């Protein structure tokens, strides 16, 4: 896959699709093999499905799209389609469904995958939108990785001893003091993509946007900075919050990010079964859009718009074009960004200098999802593909956009054009933010 279009070598596409599918499945195994059957079938939060539901849903989606839609095969288990339809059953109701047992789910997903790999081995990767550039295989790899992130969120919500472990992210800060903010010059840029082969429908099409000059934080807002907002009475002062945000704070009695608590004069947090001090130099995580917006107001700033975020992440003023990633067009490596569950926490703010944008903005990819100011809306010329329920049914003022991915996101499901969305109250997700401000007279 390249910035200019699909790789012309079908064997290279085949290898890429197979690697993406196998990598997703290995992660799924890690997330489901580390706990016992009781934990797999339990609902650890009404916000989340039982882990075993996610596991079988992954297989069911793979069967429906790759075996039935692409290969034209008969359904293996049509009777479970309704059980694993995410739109038919809200998460809170799923434990009461006739779910496959962990053993049955594992057998099912393994049988589906074996057949899928046989299809991939012989299928000409051309001749229709689902198979051109192996799109459907890339879509399913992304779908599985997205559910892997969902399962990782379930692990964070799960009570009990730690089941997952990973080394801490390296401190790649280069020692040079960083400016607090970076000026992004005003003018047009290309937002979205029409050429990224595995881009999903809401990322398309590429289109021209004109963005006035603005300043954006060099790095995400840290936990230490957010603690100062709390200590200054941020959760007790109505003036920093939108009307719905303030009602939510009062109704839920919010006083700090999710999983934080004050003890012995310091902030502690629970992270994947371990209680530890909050690290002030890490990006703050597990904050809602309402909290991010209130902090930005308290700081005399605002959240960046989605267009501002993408321009800061992709626009190369020297070349006058939009890159795939802040650092260029090459796929992410561990030197560029904290992705793929290699670590179970964000890296210190200011890390990954090799992943910086042309203007010097850091950590735009990985570490924490970043809330933007905007509602989730379609781009001009949007077309739903291959089904309305991926994006179109969520468009409107209900959902806010997040960009950039987190440490829980795999590279196959993260790029400079990738768009995530969620309700403004959501905090269990791996969400943080950075702030922006308009460039004043004489600053642009």
Contacts of 12 (CB under 8 A, 6+ apart): none
Q: Which two tokens stand for residue 392?
A: 């179109």
Place of tokens 């989340």: 48
Q: How many helices (H) and strands (E) does the chain have?
A: 9, 14
Which residue is it, tokens 């003018």?
Answer: 187
Any binding-site annotation on 91?
Answer: yes
**Through-space distance between the first and last CA atoms of the chain, rounded to whole angstroms:** 36
**Burial label, 369 (beta-carbon count in 10 A; 0-12, 13-18, 19+):** buried
Tell me: is residue 270 an annotated ligand-binding position: no
Phi, psi at 236, each rounded to 5°:
-110, -5
7 is in an annotated binding site: no
What is the DSSP code string of 92-109?
GGGGGS-PPPHHHHHHHH
Residue 89, annotated ligand binder? no
Question: Torsion angle, CA of 23/272/173/364, rounded to 10 degrees?
Answer: 60
- With tokens 């590429």, the residue in question is 206
Could you tell me if 147 and 112 are in contact, meaning their C-beta atoms sit under 8 angstroms apart?
Answer: no
Residue 92 in marked binding region: yes
Q: Which residues are annotated as a binding site for gamma-L-glutamyl-L-cysteine?
A: 91-94, 422, 426
Q: Which residues are annotated as a binding site for Fe cation?
A: 57, 143, 147
Q: Which residues are annotated as a binding site?
A: 57, 91-94, 143, 147, 422, 426
């Amino acid at each position: 896959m390249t910035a200019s279009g699909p790789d012309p070598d079908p064997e290279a596409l085949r290898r890429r699709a197979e690697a993406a599918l196998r990598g997703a499945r290995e992660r799924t195994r890690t997330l489901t093999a580390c706990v016992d059957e009781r934990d797999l079938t339990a609902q650890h939060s009404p916000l989340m499905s039982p882990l075993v539901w996610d596991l079988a849903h992954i297989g069911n989606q793979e069967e429906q799209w790759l075996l039935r839609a692409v290969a034209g095969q008969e359904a293996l288990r049509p009777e479970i389609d309704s059980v694993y339809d995410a739109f038919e059953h809200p998460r809170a109701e799923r434990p009461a469904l006739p779910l496959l047992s962990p053993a049955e789910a594992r057998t099912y997903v393994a049988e589906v995958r074996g057949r899928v790999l046989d299809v991939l081995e012989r299928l000409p990767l051309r001749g229709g939108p689902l198979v051109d550039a192996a799109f459907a295989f890339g879509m399913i790899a992304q779908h599985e990785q997205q559910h892997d992130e969902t399962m990782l969120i379930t692990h964070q919500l799960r009570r009990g001893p730690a089941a997952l472990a990973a080394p801490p992210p390296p401190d790649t800060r280069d020692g040079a003091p960083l400016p607090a903010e970076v000026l992004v010059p005003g003018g047009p840029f290309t937002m979205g993509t029409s050429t990224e082969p595995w881009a999903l429908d809401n990322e398309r099409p590429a289109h021209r946007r004109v963005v006035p000059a603005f300043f954006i934080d060099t790095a995400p807002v840290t936990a230490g900075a957010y603690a100062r907002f709390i200590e200054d009475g941020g959760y007790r002062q109505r003036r920093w919050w939108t009307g719905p945000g303030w009602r939510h704070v009062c109704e839920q009695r919010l006083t700090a990010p999710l999983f934080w608590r004050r003890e012995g004069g310091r902030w502690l947090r629970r992270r994947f079964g371990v209680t530890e001090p909050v690290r002030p130099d890490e990006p703050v995580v597990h904050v809602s859009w309402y909290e991010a917006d209130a902090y930005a107001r308290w700081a005399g700033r605002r959240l960046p718009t989605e267009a501002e975020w993408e321009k800061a992440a992709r626009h190369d003023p020297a070349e006058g074009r939009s890159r795939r990633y802040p650092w260029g067009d090459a796929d992410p490596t561990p030197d560029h960004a904290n992705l793929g569950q290699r670590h179970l926490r964000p890296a210190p703010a200011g890390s990954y200098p090799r992943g910086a944008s042309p203007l010097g903005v850091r950590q735009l990819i990985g570490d924490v999802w970043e809330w933007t100011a905007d509602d989730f809306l379609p781009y001009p010329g949007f077309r739903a593909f291959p089904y309305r329920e991926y994006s179109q049914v969520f468009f409107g003022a209900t959902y806010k956009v997040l960009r950039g991915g987190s440490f829980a996101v795999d590279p196959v499901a993260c790029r400079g054009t990738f768009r995530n969305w969620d309700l403004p109250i959501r905090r269990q997700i791996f969400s943080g933010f950075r702030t922006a401000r308009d460039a004043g007279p004489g600053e642009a």
